[in-house]
Chain A
């Protein structure tokens, strides 16, 4: 008998508040006016709008500016050959030889630097994709898989291979979990990261086999150390060439293995097959998906129910996703407004909710900020991915979140780290539209914490800021957020009405009375709170302030 928790929410109970919750969890929480539309459609159509995303056309250019994986290896080989030729050709003195060596090293270093830069560009590509997509669940799932099947560009240096794996996550995001697992296991990025390429008959390496079972499928307690050893044997010979999976027959241990009590001359794919016959696998991933989208510590009946759905569909994910997003428990009090947004959820959601144009500049800034907030794309901290939840929050990261709002709403990047001027200058060189002026003044509040905060000083070009530990804040010439369009629906509202309008938009909970007063005060300035908003004549700075304050509240960190 199924518990009530996973029972579909009766359509009579469906409303705007629940639709907003769905928007925040299955999407990045925008565009918020979709909530009314989704509310009208009823729960099934609303959920389908997210889950059946392939129905929504989306033409986003692939990063074809990435060099093929062979390119770097080829370039290095060419360089080596060229230098050898020159060495052998002439009678070079020792000094000339050393000069040649230094030159070769310099070119190598530049190559490596270009490669690292390409990963940064890839981050920007992904952020822009997230900002533009009409299929937010696709990107949220791709990100989930990136954290689940974690690999890091620290070890997987090739930008192309990182993209290649990212593409696998996207193509199978809401597809079949078993297929996804096989594809991931055979991807060069994973083969590098968990040493699959080094796993041979003569010298087995257990890294992939262990993490496959411990972190990716069954979880601890459902297999033995002996199983890991036998599985590792089965995976021997898995390798790659460029971006293609290649099987090295001579490196493969084709002997008999006993894996999970089953005896046979198992190959890697056989091992995956056996793993997916274990009940633990469906339970493990069901629990993880529910925790990610709904709430921590799901009730046992939820895990069992979803696991059953997953098994019945032979590991197609959509039935599970649909069941999850339609269930009563998903819309219960444990779920609504209780989840701390990941940095991606926060940053992408903020930019999108503010209606900020998702150009390259914004992509760059957000990718940069994601790192300081603790979620550096393509660089998860270890193979366990990101812990999430309260782990996102400490005094540092929380301040970064509040100051991110300052960046997007007001165009102020305070306390830029030493790398920032160089990074921004590079961006400016590559993208002529990326212009800003630099104000060298210190950004400090007035003594009573009020009033504008930048003392005017002569402008200072960005290049001069590099390497200067006392360099000041960076002020953008044009703030990313433009209040006009955003506040248009609130034209004619009284100030308390505007405060509530903003709260509906940004928060999963209603405002406290004193919070409303704060927002009204920020909006009002000299005016009376009973005045009605006249966009043409209202002080834009006050509109910005109200928004920035709301985004710098604890409530905005939750979805």
Chain B
């Protein structure tokens, strides 16, 4: 059987994380298209896209954990029902940024307003799924695995994307999550993806005299004869972890952010992502979380603060990407596991709800309001009925951004939405 031609291999590998050239590229990595490209003089981190790859595109997934109150994010200010059922919680005129006659943004999202005016923000209204689940844990699982409400899948949608689209050696850094938890979305058969708090601390931490990286590597040599398959497997994962750690360290050292980010874990997380992107780490998908949205009581102040953290971090991120020459490559997709109830509760907050907005930001976005605003009159047991299935959004991103076949990843077809400009 012939080796697939270099061109087809490049295309085949086109959708995945790519190894950054280290000073000495181990043999098995050289065989990847990237290795070949580097050998032919391509500079990692340069503006020119990697030959054969579709512009080396990146997706950043931002997860708002806890259930973001969509109604106070994209506010139906002209709707009497909204004000009636939220006497204290409805956002008043001086706290809103008008988008059109019907809806406004919460003023805390001001940092994103100019991006919106430039047409770089798509606000997808009413996103949810049939038979919505109001348990944090279960609903988050549904979003991570892109399952139906009555299905229980183990593999995540991003993991399945990696499994189906990445040939050759599994690249650990195909997916990078900032945080100590490995997102369920990354879970797949080929075990791709890493999670860390800070890139410089991901790796084997040496101990005392004699316990150093060199000894660690020597004792775990992947090319030594292995007594059984398990040892062989473990050594390979060890090698992967070690290479990844090297790669992360080098990438982190290679680049500086061009702008100052807010000093909170979310902003700093995005700063790390920007450095990884500009530094040529080669990851295809990044994952960042912001928690605290479960506002059952005293929502007003908390929600405003969180939206502010979100908007200022994201604004700095996009500004940094532009300054670093990376803005054409990056798309950011923001979601939450559910919205909140239409009616406010007795504690100045709201309880778990259903449909909520998703937000896409980036150079390639076809900006504006998308989807249909869910009706406040026609509710499902007091909750909004969704007008867009979240898997349509995933499908649109997979197909339009990554040129991948969404049906393979999601299990069945979902209608695309016009989210990206041509």
Binding site for B on A (CB under 8 A): 98, 101-102, 104-105, 109, 154-155, 337-340, 372, 382, 387, 390, 393-399, 402-403, 406, 409-410, 412, 414-415, 417-418, 442-446, 448-453, 467, 469-470, 473, 509, 512, 514-515, 518-519, 521-523, 525, 539, 541-542, 544-546, 548-550, 552-555, 557-558
A224 to B209, CA, bound (A): 63
**B301 to A: closest C-beta gap in Å:** 12
Question: How many angstroms between the C-alpha atoms of A449 and B237 in the bound complex?
Answer: 20
A550 (CB) vs chain B CBs: closest residue? B219
Selected from B193, B215, B263, the residue in CB contact (under 8 A) with A518 is B215
The reply on B41 being an interface residue by CB < 8 A is: no
Q: Does B265 lie within 8 Å of A337, measured CB to CB?
A: no
Q: Which of A399, A444, A544 makes the CB contact (< 8 A) with B200? A: A444
Residues of B within 8 A of A539 (CB): 209
Report the minimal beta-carbon distance from B104 to chain A, rounded to whole angstroms.
26
Given A415-B201, A450-B214, A542:B208 Cβ within 8 A: yes
Q: How far is the CB of A110 from chain B (nearest CB, A)?
A: 13
Q: A394-B182, A396-B194, A451-B212 are in contact. Are A340 and B200 (CB under 8 A)?
A: no
Distance, CA A514 to CA B221, complexed state (A): 10
* B421 on interface, CB distance cutoff 8 Å: no
Given contacts A522-B215, A525-B210, 17 further A-B contacts (CB under 8 A): A155-B135, A393-B234, A395-B172, A395-B241, A398-B241, A399-B204, A406-B207, A414-B205, A446-B212, A449-B212, A453-B207, A470-B198, A515-B219, A518-B218, A522-B210, A525-B209, A542-B209
Total contacts A to B, CB within 8 angstroms? 190
| Most chain A beta-carbon contacts within 10 A, residue among B202, B228, B263 | B228
Instruction: Provide the residues of chain A in CB contact with B135, threshold 8 Å.
Output: 155
Which residues of chain B are near A519, meaning CB under 8 Å?
A: 219
Q: In whole angstroms, how far apart are the Cα atoms of A545 and B210 in the complex?
A: 6
Question: In the assembled complex, which residues on chain A have CB atoms less than 8 Å from the CB atom of B193?
Answer: 394
Residues of B within 8 A of A (CB): 135, 137, 152, 154, 172, 179-180, 182, 191, 193-198, 200-216, 218-221, 224-225, 227-228, 230-231, 233-235, 237-238, 240-241, 244-245, 263-265, 268-269, 296-298, 346-348
B400 → chain A closest CB, angstroms: 30
Tell me whether B201 and A443 are in contact (CB under 8 A): yes
Residue A554 contacts which of B203, B235, B245 (CB distance < 8 angstroms)?
Answer: B235
Q: Is A450 a contact of B220 with CB atoms below 8 Å?
A: no
Is there an interface contact between A545 and B237, defined as CB atoms closer than 8 Å?
no
CA distance A399 to B203 in the complex (A): 6
Evaluate whether A337 and B216 lie within 8 angstroms (CB atoms) in the complex, with A539-B209, A545-B207 already known.
no
Whether A453 touches B206, Cβ cut-off 8 Å, given contacts A372-B180, A443-B201, A545-B211, is yes
Dominant secondary structure at the B interface: loop
Which B residues are in CB contact (< 8 Å) with A410? 207-208, 211
The answer to whether B268 and A445 touch across the interface, beta carbons within 8 angstroms, is no
Bound-complex Cα distance A158 to B208 (A): 43
Q: How far is the CA of A338 from the CA of B227 in the complex (A)?
A: 10
> How many angstroms between the C-alpha atoms of A393 and B182 in the bound complex?
12
Q: Once the chains bind, are B196 and A415 in contact (CB under 8 Å)?
A: yes
| 26 residue pairs from A and B, CB less than 8 Å apart | A105-B296, A155-B137, A393-B234, A397-B182, A398-B238, A403-B205, A410-B211, A417-B197, A418-B197, A443-B201, A449-B212, A449-B214, A450-B206, A450-B214, A467-B265, A469-B263, A469-B269, A470-B198, A509-B227, A512-B224, A514-B224, A518-B219, A525-B210, A554-B231, A554-B234, A557-B230
CA A403 – CA B241 in complex, angstroms? 12
**Which of B228, B263, B347 makes the CB contact (< 8 A) with A102?**
B347
How many angstroms from the CA of A545 to the CA of B265 in the assembled complex? Answer: 34
B227 contacts A549, CB within 8 Å? no
Q: Are B180 and A521 in contact (CB under 8 A)?
A: no
For A109, what are the chain B residues with a Cβ–Cβ distance below 8 Å? 297
Contact B238 A546 (CB under 8 A): no
Indicate which residue in B208, B264, B296 contacts A544 across the interface (CB closer than 8 Å).
B208
State whether A549 touches B201 (Cβ < 8 A): no
A363 to B263, CA, bound (A): 34
Q: Which of A98, A449, A512, A521 contacts B206 (CB 8 A)?
A: A449
Return A443 CB to nearest CB of chain B, in Å: 6
Which 9 A/B pairs are nearest by Cβ-Cβ distance? A449-B213, A554-B234, A522-B210, A545-B211, A417-B180, A415-B201, A541-B208, A545-B210, A395-B241
- Most A CB within 10 A of own CB, among B208, B225, B296: B208
Task: Tell me which residues across on chain B come within 8 A of A402, comparing CB atoms.
Answer: 204, 216, 238
CB distance A406 to B205 under 8 Å?
yes
Kindly provide the distance from the CB of A190 to the nearest chain B CB, expressed in whole angstroms.
Answer: 18
A390 near B211 (CB under 8 angstroms)? no
Chain B residues near A102 (CB-CB < 8 A) = 297-298, 347-348
Give every chain A residue within 8 A of B207 (Cβ-Cβ): 406, 409-410, 412, 453, 544-545, 548
Q: How far is the CA of A399 from the CA of B210 in the complex (A)?
A: 19
A545–B195 Cα distance when bound, in Å, is: 27
| Across-interface contacts of A450 in B (CB, < 8 A) | 206, 212-214
Q: How far is the CB of A131 from chain B (nearest CB, A)?
A: 23
